[in-house]
Structures are given as C-alpha cells and as structure tokens.
Chain A
Amino acid sequence: MTEVVQNVRTELRLYIEENFLYLHPGLELKDDDQFLTLGIVDSLGFVELVEEVQARYAITVEDVEITEENFGSIDAIVAYVEQKRRSA
C-alpha cells in the first residue's frame, strides 16, 4: 500500500468517524463495512460524503459513478479515489 493511499484511507476514516460514527456509539467500523447497509450514513449524509470526497481530492464525480461500489465503504472510496487519480 502506497503512502498516498494510506493517507486517503486515514483521512476518510477520520471524516467518517467525526461526521457519522458518533451516532453509532460502540461500533467498530471496518474498512469494508457497508455504510448504507449498516445505516451509518443516511441519504442526505451520503450527499455530504460524496461532496466531501469531491472537494477534498479535487476530483470530478460523474453521475454514473455515484454507486455503492464506489462510495459504499472506506475500501470502496479509497479504490475509487485512486482510480480517478490514475486516470486524471
């Protein structure tokens, strides 16, 4: 794992913990846990999450990319950001 990827992972985890996990005290979030399935992120929270990723990593998110496959877990977002950066 590169240092850049690790930084993205750390930043994202911190963001998720700060913004959403306080509503789920005691939950140990794993990197592959699904936000929506576990109810960690509600629909409006999902909007904020995508906007955050877009702004923080200066990437343009296309409509068709807003899927659980890309934004459903920390692992998913890390992979998505990495892929977007590679193709930029």
Chain B
Amino acid sequence: MCGLAGIVRSDAAEPVDEVALRRMLAAVRHRGPDGCGIALEPGAGLVSSRLAIFDLPRGWQPLEASPGGGILVYNGEVYNHPELRAELAARGEGFDTTCDTEVVLRLLERDGVAALDRLNGQFAIAWWQPAPRRLTLVRDRFGVRPLYYARVGDGTLVFGSEAKALFASGEVAAAPDILGVDEVFTLWGPRAPRTVFAGVDQVRPGGLVVWERGHIVEEWTWWMPEYGAGEPPDEDLEELLRESVRLRLRADVPVGTYLSGGLDSSLITALAQQETDHELRTFSIAFADPRYDERVHQEEVARAIGTQHHVVEALPRDIADAFPDVVRHAETPLVRTGPVPLYLLACEVREQGITVVATGEGADELFWGYELFKEVVLRDLHRHEPERAEALLDELYASLGPAGSRRGPAWRRFLLETGADDAQLGSHRTRAGATAVVKAFYRPEVAAETGKTASLDRLRRELPAAFGRWTSLERAAWLELATLLEPYLLSSQGDRMAMAHGVEGRFPFLDHRVFAHSVRLPEAEKLDGMREKGALRRIAAKVLPAAIAERGKQAYRAPEVAPFFGPEAPPWVEEALAPSALSESGLWDAQRVDGLLRRCRAGRATGMRESMALVGILSTQLWHREFVGRGIAGYPPESREPRVRIDRTGEPSAKEAA
C-alpha cells in the first residue's frame, strides 16, 4: 500500500524536474510513511511513497523489470500473489522479493494488461514502458484505490494517487469543476472519470488508460459489474467468504478489523478471528448521542468473539476540529460528516501499531442491505397492496426521525412518488432529491451553469447497454455501486480517511468472486420481502450471537450541525462562511447562507435538509480554500532520502548538482 505519482512527457529530451517529483512525493507521503523511491528516465519520472505490508526489507518501489526495462509504481495489494508467483516460478521466472509488486510487474511484462484478470486485490498501477514511451494507468475492479491524471501542455501527463500530487507538480492548477461539484450535491461524489477539479480526471473503477508519446491512445474498462439471470451459483458462499477473508489476512504485519456492531463487519470479524492464529484487534466508533451510538452491539460482538477491542468516542468537538483535515484528505466537498469519525478511528488504529484493517464494506451493495432496495420493493408492492406497503414504508429510515417515531404519511408519499415515473434512476431519485437541497444555496450563475438535472442526465447517458434488461433491484444495485460505493464510500469515507494515517482498509465482500456469486444468487437470498441479506445471516448464525446475526441495519451517521456551532465551536467555522469567504469561492449565495447560519446558531437547523446543506457548504468552503489558488509554495518537497533511486537520465541528481 503506497502513494504513487509521476510525470511523463511526449519528448524524451524535455526533462522532468526532480524537485517537482519530490513535491509530489511529499503530497502523498501520508499514504506511505515508511520510505520513498524515485525513478528518473529521459522525459519521465515516477515516485512511490511506501506503506510496508509485504517483504518489509525489500519491497521498495519504483521497481524495474530489468536494467533499462519497464518500471512499476503501484498502490495496493494483490492477495493471490503467492499463487501467481509459484506459477511464474514454475515457468522459470526468478524473483528478488516476496512482495506482490514484483509479481504484478512480471505478469504485466509477460502478458500485458491481459494479466489484470488474474489479479485478486485492490490496486492502482502506473506501468512505464520506456521503448514505446508508454504509460499504462490501471485501477482495481471496484475502484478501492484512487488514481488521478491530467494532460497538460504539449502532451505531458501528470498522475498521482491523490489530486494534490498533481497540484504539487506545479504543472496542474487546482480549479473547481462546477459540474463535478454538482455531482457531489446529487450523488454524494463525482463519477469517474470526472472529478471536482477542472482538467483533472480519474481512472474509472476497473478501468485503464494508456498514454503513449503525448497522447491517450486507449481508455477502456477491463472489468465491470454485470447482472442478469444466470445459473444459480454452485460454490458455497461461506467457503468463498472464508477464502476471501483468509486472503485478506495475508500480510507481514498484524491485521485488525473495524467493528460497527452490525451484521457485515461482525461477520468479517468472526471469520477473521477463526482464520487467524493470534488475538484479533477490533476497532469501533462510539458517539455520546444514542441516536448514532452502537457500542452495546460492538461490545457484545467483541466479547462473543474474544477480540482485543478498542473504542474511539467521536465527540462533537473532535468532529469539528478534524473536519478541515478530513476535507483536505477527501479532496472534495462532502454532504455528511460520516468520514470524520473514520478519520479519527484510523488515527487510533495507527497509534495501536496496526496498519491493515478488514471491514464489512460492500455487503450492503452486494446483498442488498440498504433501505433503498426496500423502497424499490415497496413501490412495486404498493401497486397491489397499498395499505401493506404504506405500513412498511413507515418503518424505513426510522433512524432519521426522532427516536421511536414513525415518519407519517408525507414521508410515505415522498418515498412512493419520488422517481416513480423514472424507470432508469427511480431507485436513486429520493437520495438525489434529498441531496439537491444543497443546490438551493447556489449563486444564480452557478445554478444556471449546472442546470437542474445535468448530473442525472449524464448518469442516464452513461448507463450500461444491458441496464434495461436487468430487474429493478439489479438496476438499483448497479447504481449503488456506480454512484455511492466508489465515489463516496470507498473514497471519501474509505481510502482517504484510512490512508490519511497510513492505514490500509481491506474489503472481503469486494472480492470479485464473492460479487459474481452474489449476482447469481436468487433475489430472495438477498432481499426477501423486508428481510435483507438472508444468505449472509445464515452464515452469521453459525459464528455470531443470534441477536447480531438477526440485527437490522442501523444507518451509519455522525452529528452534523451541532459540532460547528455553540460555545465549543472552533472560530474557523464562522470565518469560512463569512460573506468575503463565500465571495472568494464564488459558489454560494451569501444572503441565503446567512439565513441558514442564523438557524444553525439558534439550534433550529435540525432536519436532514439543513444538516446536509450546512455540511455541503462548509466543506466546499474548506475545500476551495485548501486547494484553489494554492501555489507550489504550499507543497514542500520530500526531504527523506529515497530508499530506491533509478536514474537513467545520465544527468547529475539534484543533490549532486547542489
């Protein structure tokens, strides 16, 4: 697990500045605090900042296939690397390390990108081939690991694990992409290749981009989620999951788990404890506010399984204090504060000496755990049994209302009617409609530029060809992967918060074989009436207390408005939302924001609409201040001596020249 970055030029005679590369390295240093490496070619430079997981003494990057040959910088893990190495070794390949990086490079050198199908893991790859002056950028199937790039000048390509590495190069300026920002306020995150920065793209999940001598010559998707009726699976889900967990415990460092107290993370924790020979460490977030807190369930699971359990209580002041750092790492406006406790948790994990954690991420998408899937079922049921459907609708999203309350007829009507006439995106129109509240605060010129439906229109245009042949629940599942899992959960709430502290998240449910299995399961195994995840609950019943195996889903949320107002609120909140600051970012109507602020200060902004608006506006302001207009002076160069240095330029190094 690492941070990577680089610059490649169309003309080999045009040098790449090592100091620029060192600035890029420093910008992603948090992703790889254990050391760094630099490769310099004529007209190209690649850098790596390493978090050591496999072969601690030797697994440094950049890695070259041979003197003068291909070079790899790589962020991630390929869990089946021992099996792949054995296969290559049997054919006579020799290895210098026991690290997965070397396996990936040798496979790519031998089979080209066809090798990607063999890789089981989560990774972002930059593979440089000097002779054709070709750079291949690759992301894993679900987009667990990020990878950004920008084309500048006369064909130069600048790339990195995070957008800040691109800005640190001095060759890419940070400016908002208003349509990308609008996607945040529609779907919670921008969909690749779009980002929230103008001129900056990201490789699609399961995608690759090939740049050659100044031009992008290929851009395609080597894996995509596909649905549709097929033969029921003949493999055993429990064995598949155990195998996935076993693979994801592979590391030369200790592995822990995140434990929310819900079904998914509890199941992963239980399986991990059975598959490991040491006492597992578990990590949980707790809140003082009982509406968000799940500690009773977390403790029950930890006791039952017998883990060494750690709890981080996220206090409102902690949330406010960490918020600017969270936005800096997420590199995007946010509509929820949910990433903040995960940032605090990763900090604790690191302090406890753990650098790898397995989590339950992905189960809700694969096994239809979200309320959104039930909405789809109930809209259908309402056509035949309206009274029964309405009674059941009343119970959805119970955690969003006052404790113990039922939401009532207006809520039912909202859920039933929003998107009812939209066969394509109907399942996601309630979320998009609720999130769009933030757009009411746009300045008129921003509203005119984005239009009311631009983000949904783009999504509609880019639906897969087979989309119309899938069932309504399969369509909802695809949309959930495409619009929430990668753009928000794996990114803003996942990779960025963990890697901010050099912690690697691993996701056993997002093994592509588990996904393929889930697709072929009968729908009732995933959602049977209002009972979700039947297939997982049967496995959980064998390894967890019954109350946990049958526990319903509690939506993960964190306090949203309260941390930023009142006597304990940090002073930067009001500064960031002052008319002069709003004018600088140019996105928000100051008068309307002032109205919202008055309600927040008075403690009256307690509903979902205004909470989302406040978090959206405040995070946008912090994001704009952090990135836009920040020159390279804000990006100091890496000062650590590289553990690996490949220099094929024949030029004296910057240090030697100095």
Contacts and interface: CB of A to CB of B under 8 A. Distances in A.
Interface in A1-60: 18-19, 22-23, 25, 42-51, 54
B409 A42 contact: no
Contacts of B418: 43
B595 A22 contact: yes
Nearest to B435: A44
Interface in B414-443: 414, 418, 433-434, 436-437, 440-441
A44 B437 contact: yes
B600 to A, nearest CB: 11
Given A42-B437, A61-B408, A66-B413, A48 B607 contact: yes
Given A18-B599, A25-B592, A66-B409, A44 B440 contact: no
A47 B596 contact: no
Contacts of A48: 607, 609
B90 interface: no
Nearest to A62: B409
B344 to A, nearest CB: 30
A83 B528 CA distance: 42
Contacts of B598: 22
B388 to A, nearest CB: 13
Contact of B411 (A18, A23, A42, A51): A51
B89 interface: no
A23 B440 contact: yes
A22 B408 contact: no
Nearest to A26: B591
B436 A63 contact: no
Given A22-B592, A46-B414, A63 B390 contact: yes
B409 A23 contact: no
B425 to A, nearest CB: 15
Contacts of A51: 407-408, 410-411
Given A22-B596, A25-B591, A42 B440 contact: yes
Contacts of A54: 408, 410
B640 interface: no
Chain B: interface size category:
20 to 34
Nearest to B604: A18
B307 to A, nearest CB: 40
Interface string B594-606: 1110110000100
B213 interface: no
A47 B464 CA distance: 34
A88 to B, nearest CB: 17
Contact of B410 (A18, A25, A46): A46
Contacts of A44: 414, 433-434, 437, 608-609
Nearest to B613: A23
Contacts of A49: 410
Nearest to B593: A22
Central interface residue in A19, A46, A65, by most chain B CB within 10 Å: A19
Given A43-B418, A44-B433, A48-B607, A23 B410 contact: no
B381 to A, nearest CB: 15
Contacts of A65: 409
B609 A63 contact: no
Contact of A42 (B436, B594, B599): B436
A51 B413 CA distance: 12
A66 to B, nearest CB: 5
B412 interface: yes
Interface in B166-193: none
Contacts of A63: 390, 409, 412-413
B414 A47 contact: yes
A68 B568 CA distance: 43
Nearest to A65: B409
Given A22-B596, A23-B592, A51-B410, 12 more contacts: A22-B591, A25-B592, A44-B433, A44-B437, A45-B609, A47-B414, A48-B607, A48-B609, A49-B410, A51-B408, A63-B390, A63-B412
22 contacts: A18-B604, A19-B599, A22-B594, A25-B595, A43-B414, A43-B433, A44-B433, A44-B434, A44-B609, A45-B437, A46-B410, A46-B414, A48-B609, A50-B409, A50-B410, A54-B408, A61-B408, A61-B409, A61-B410, A63-B412, A63-B413, A66-B413
Q: Which 8 A-B pairs have the closest CB atoms?
A: A22-B595, A50-B410, A47-B410, A63-B409, A25-B591, A47-B414, A44-B434, A23-B440
